[in-house]
Structure 1
Amino acid sequence: MARIPGIRTAVVAAAAALLARRALRRRVQASPLWPLPALDPPVSGRGRADTGARRLRVAERTEEAEGVVRLRLEGEDLPDWEPGAHLDLVLPSGAVRQYSLCGEPAEPGSYTIATRLIEDGRGGSREVHEHLHEGAVVEVRGPRNRFPLRDSPAYVFLAGGIGITPILPMVRQAERTGVPWRLVYAGRSRASMPFLAEVEKLAGAGADRVTVVAEDEDGRPDLAAVLAAAPPDAAVYCCGPEPLRDAVAALLPTVTGGLTLYTERFAPAAPAPAGGNAPFEVELRRTGRTVSVPADTSALRAIRAQALPDLPYSCERGFCGTCQQRVLAGEVDHRDDLLTDAERADSLLICVSRARGGNLVLDL
């Protein structure tokens, strides 16, 4: 009989909890936003194989070349990836940077990235070099792939410096599948070129498939000759500094053979001029708030300041895709360098794009 008071207390507590849950359910269902499941999932970061963040440990760190470190990140139940994919790395400061995966997709439990120290950059590479040592834990998001290796009868790969990182897994896959390929790898000097030994090893018996051009020894690569010698209908994959990408894009129309060019930026393009911007409003449909965007402020900054301070973003220059959001109503003035025409039909990058002649309604 001594246990009855305790039993009564437990019963009362359980009943109170049940009543509280029912009251909360009634309040939620009475909300003007109910039912939320009727809305599609948010589009932020669309294109990711997995949008969830996870914490990985730096299992190995090596100096891959002058100013370049390679990190092998270990974790459990990591999503699969394909050549061309990259990770969003959340640095100790909270900044987010993108790094191409350059290891083996078939290797379970780890991702490999490499980064070059940019002395006059925005500080992300310096954080990697100074803080991410063996044993450190870092948050990552992804992987995502906006630079996939598409089926082709032949490949020509053009890499400049750290631009070898997404190209290297592509070369390995082309070799495994038996598709003809050629790689031109250029850099300031051999000492500054990461993964050089592996690149030269990939040439195997067909040494003419790989051309290494160290500018301090050989000058610049003869891109016109490389493209002119490409097999008909080959896919040309180029990653590297902007002058390299621009030179290849300018030369391609002068070459016959039905070549198709695929490039990836690993630095943002120049920002769009701010002149002529007009203020506008953004309705956040899920949140139930309306945000005013001044002429001299991006929608991203206004939304973070007035409504959603934890909204993810990274480059703020229309390059990385982290801040991509679905547009429910309104016309968009697209100013990014990333989205396809199909993606622009129903989404925008709020770090650079604005309303065109009116207001916007976003799925936020």
Structure 2
Amino acid sequence: MIEVVVADREAVAEDVVALTLRRAAGGPLPPWEPGAHIDLRLADGLVRQYSLCGDPADTESWRVAVLREPDGRGGSAQVHERLRPGVRLTSEGPRNHFQLAASPSYLFLAGGIGITPILPMVAAADAAGADWRLEYGGRSTASMAFRTELARYGDRVRIRPQDTTGLLDLDGLLGTPLPDTLVYCCGPEPLLAAVEERCARWPQGALRVERFTPKPVDEAEEDEGFEVELARSGLTLKVPAGRSILETVEAAGVTALSSCREGTCGTCETEILGGVPDHRDAVLTEEERAGGEFMMICVSRAHSSRLLLDL
């Protein structure tokens, strides 16, 4: 955990502010790569995750951009109302569960504030000489951040405001799998779900998504209790229906790292030593889920009667 200070604040779109953060004590910040996010500890005990959208080569500052969510849980309101240059707060990370893998070709899809993790990815792909393009959708032109920065890429970037051009043409973009192409997508849940549906016909692993909100769970499936055996603590605990593994181990006095508690940040990632997990997070890829090596204990459960965890 490090203390940072807001060094600059800029309105980059309607209801979107970008903050430049520096280490309060001076000096370099921890390094990061495209796709990474940090945790910011706000007032009233709130912890929120924000994608880094600046230049990884800039070791002296981080940049995040935050959309004000009128119906949110208070984090974005704090950022917009309280965080001004000179304000200090603590941060953790960076962490990265949305890494940019090497590829000769990329298709980037961004919706609204989902442009934030995509922005440094575009810069990295361009610097690497890859073949890439970005389709960027939003409610209106005024609501879409970083349009000026993206203009330098010319026709590789298409700005698609919904009020004038309609929704992104996902059938046209994804209807036919493109060879040697990775698809990176970030944005609201309807966009992610639609992209996942269309990419089901693409090669396994071609699609990478990042969610800012929990992945929807089939509510028709009732939770059942199960046991967790904690290898390092020597405890076996009953996880009842309606209670998470994280809450159960914390109640038993076992320390486990956590932040979002909704399966989106990856902080509580825990190694699985035995058993079959029921993955409900929005972090792991399908390949990682199939591998069964790690799980997010804040939301995921078990398909087997017992899990053996490295806790």
Scaled by the length of structure 1, the TM-score of the pair is 0.74
The equivalent of 2:115 in structure 1 is: 164
Superimposed CA distance per residue, residues 94-129 of structure 1 (whole angstroms, 9 cap, x where no aligned partner): 232221110001012111111111111222222222
In the aligned structure 2, how far is the partner of 1:354 from the partner of 1:84? 26
Q: Distance in 1 between matches of 2:282 and 2:205?
A: 22
Q: Is the partner of 1:150 in helix, strand or coil?
A: coil
Residue 59 of structure 1 corresponds to which residue in structure 2? 7
Q: Please say if 1:71 is aligned against 2:38.
A: no
**Farther off after superposition, 75-84 or 160-169:** 75-84
| SS of residue matched to 2:115 | helix
Higher helix share: 1
- The C-alpha deviation readout for 1:287-316, integer Å capped at 9, x for no partner, is 4555443323212122223414x6442333
Matched, 1:211 2:158: yes
Cα distance change on mapping 1:168 and 1:137 into 2, 3 Å: same
Q: Which one has a larger percent strand, Structure 1 or Structure 2? A: 2
CA–CA distance in 1 between the matches of 2:206 and 2:271?
Answer: 30
> What is the aligned partner in structure 2 of residue 260 from structure 1?
206
Equivalent pair of 1:58/1:73 in contact (CA under 8 Å): yes
8 Å contact from structure 1 (residues 268, 315) kept in 2: no
Note closer, same or farther for the CA distance 1:289–1:135 as it changes in structure 2 (3 Å cut): farther
Q: CA deviation at 1:215?
A: 1.3
* Greater Rg by CA: 1
| Cα displacement string for residues 20-47 of structure 1 (whole angstroms, at most 9, x for unaligned residues) | xxxxxxxxxxxxxxxxxxxxxxxxxxxx
Does the 8 A contact of 2:215 with 2:280 survive in 1? no
Task: Verify the 8 A CA contact 2:177 2:201 in the aligned structure 1.
Answer: no
Deviations 1:192-240 (Å, cap 9, x if unpaired)?
Answer: 111111112332xxxx222111111222232333346986422222111
Alignment of 1:11-160 (within 5 A): 53-75=1-23, 76-160=27-111
CA distance in 2, matches of 1:57, 1:94: 18
The TM-score normalised by the length of structure 2 is 0.86
Report if aligned partners of 2:30, 2:59 keep a CA contact under 8 Å in 1: no
TM-fit CA distance, 1:151 = 1.7
* CA distance 1:316–1:142, change in 2 (3 Å): same
5+ long unaligned stretches in structure 2: none
Equivalent residue for 1:177? 128
One-letter amino acid of the structure 1 residue matched with residue 65 of structure 2: A
Residues 62 and 69, structure 1, Cα contact 8 Å, conserved in 2: yes
Is contact 1:280–1:292 with CA below 8 Å preserved after alignment?
yes
Question: 1:296 corresponds to which residue?
Answer: 242
Query: Residue 186 of structure 1 aligns with which residue?
Result: 137
Instruction: Determine if contact 1:67/1:192 at 8 Å carries over to the other structure.
Output: yes
Aligned pairs, how many? 306
Shift of 1:254: 6.3
| SS in structure 2 of the partner of residue 326 of structure 1 | strand
Superposed CA deviations along residues 267-306 of structure 1, whole A, max 9, x for unmatched, are 2112454864333444445445554433232121222234
Q: Which residue of 2 aligns with 1:221?
A: 168
Q: Deviations 1:303-352 (Å, cap 9, x if unpaired)?
A: 223414x6442333333222222344555343333335557634322212
* Structure 1 runs not aligned, ≥5 long: 1-52
Residue in 2 aligned with 1:314? 259
Identity of aligned residues (%): 48
The one-letter code matched in structure 1 to 2:108 is F
**Which shows bigger deviation, 107-116 or 117-126?**
117-126
Equivalent residues of 1:271, 1:317 under 8 A apart: no
**What value does the CA root-mean-square deviation take over the aligned residues?**
2.8
Q: Decide whether the 8 Å contact of 2:276 with 2:292 is kept in 1.
A: no
